[in-house]
Each structure stands twice: as structure tokens, then as C-alpha cells.
Amino acid sequence: MKQLFVLVGVLALTPLCASANDPTLFHLSVKDVPVENGKVLDMELQEIERKADSSTVQVVRRSGGSVSSSMFVLRGMCGLARSRGAHYFIPTRIEGETSERYAVRFPQAAPEPGQGFTMAQCELMRF
């Protein structure tokens, strides 16, 4: 009977040990920040899946202007790349999703102009 309790305890703790090895996912949010035309920016960018050379990101936009919302997403992508130690990133919107999701790849070589971003560009914009 004692062995059964030990076995159940070990099996119960196994998922906790496995989740402790998962990397911390990137998250950025902003709430009630005044932006253009008297609007307020309330958005969230959450990395929901991480692979060796890519991530899946979900963006939630509650309010904000078109320019400020776009800049928030770019700032979040720069933060995600920085958190992963990447020099380059290529975000692609995932079509067909009901929510705003992006697949973000982290290539080893610089992307073609207009196809992605570099950390130098992020730093230039102070992101």
C-alpha cells in the first residue's frame, strides 16, 4: 500500500517537473496609454509556442490607433527576438485564425530587404 502512494505521488509530480524545464515565454502588455487622436492603447502580445528556430505569437488589441497598434506589435517582436538572442526575425501573419496570430522565424542569416527585420533596426527605433 505504501508503494502505491509513492508511485501515485511520483506520477503526480512528473508533469510539474516537465513544465519546470519549459522556457519562459515572452509577454508584453500595455494598458491605458494615451495615443493619437485621443485614443488609448490597450494591447497584449503573448508568445504561445516556442520552437528551436520559431515562435507563435498571439496579439490581443482592445483599443488603440492604427499606427500605435502597429508600433506596439513591432516593439513586441523586437522584444521577443531579443529575449531569444536572435539577430534577425521574420514575422508572418497566420491566416484563417479567428485571433491575430503570427509565426515568427529567427533565421541565422539576414533576411532579404523588406522580408524581415534586424536587431539593428529595433535598436535604431529604440525598441
Domain extent, residue 94, equals 25-124
Q: Is 70 inside any structural domain?
A: yes
Q: Is 11 inside any structural domain?
A: no
Sort strands 88-93 and 117-118 into parallel, antiparallel or unpaired: antiparallel
Q: Is 3 inside any structural domain?
A: no
Give the closest residue to 117 by CA, choosing from 100, 102, 104.
104
Structural domain count of the chain? 1
Distance in angstroms (rounded) separating the CA atoms of residues 48 and 53: 14
- pLDDT, residue 23, reads 57
Distance in angstroms (rounded) separating the CA atoms of residues 94 and 41: 23
Q: Residue 78: what are its φ and ψ, rounded to 5°?
A: -65, -45
- pLDDT string in tens for the chain (127-residue length): 444 333 333 334 334 333 334 458 999 999 999 998 889 999 999 999 999 999 999 999 999 999 999 999 999 999 999 999 999 999 999 998 777 999 999 999 999 999 999 999 999 999 9
- pLDDT, residue 27, reads 97
Distance in angstroms (rounded) separating the CA atoms of residues 127 and 45: 14
Q: Is 113 inside any structural domain?
A: yes
What DSSP letter does each residue of 24-84 carry, written as one string? PPPEEEEEEEE-GGG-EEEEEEEEEEE-SSEEEEEEEEEE--HHHHHHHHHHHHHHHHHHT
Q: Is 1 inside any structural domain?
A: no
- pLDDT, residue 1, reads 44
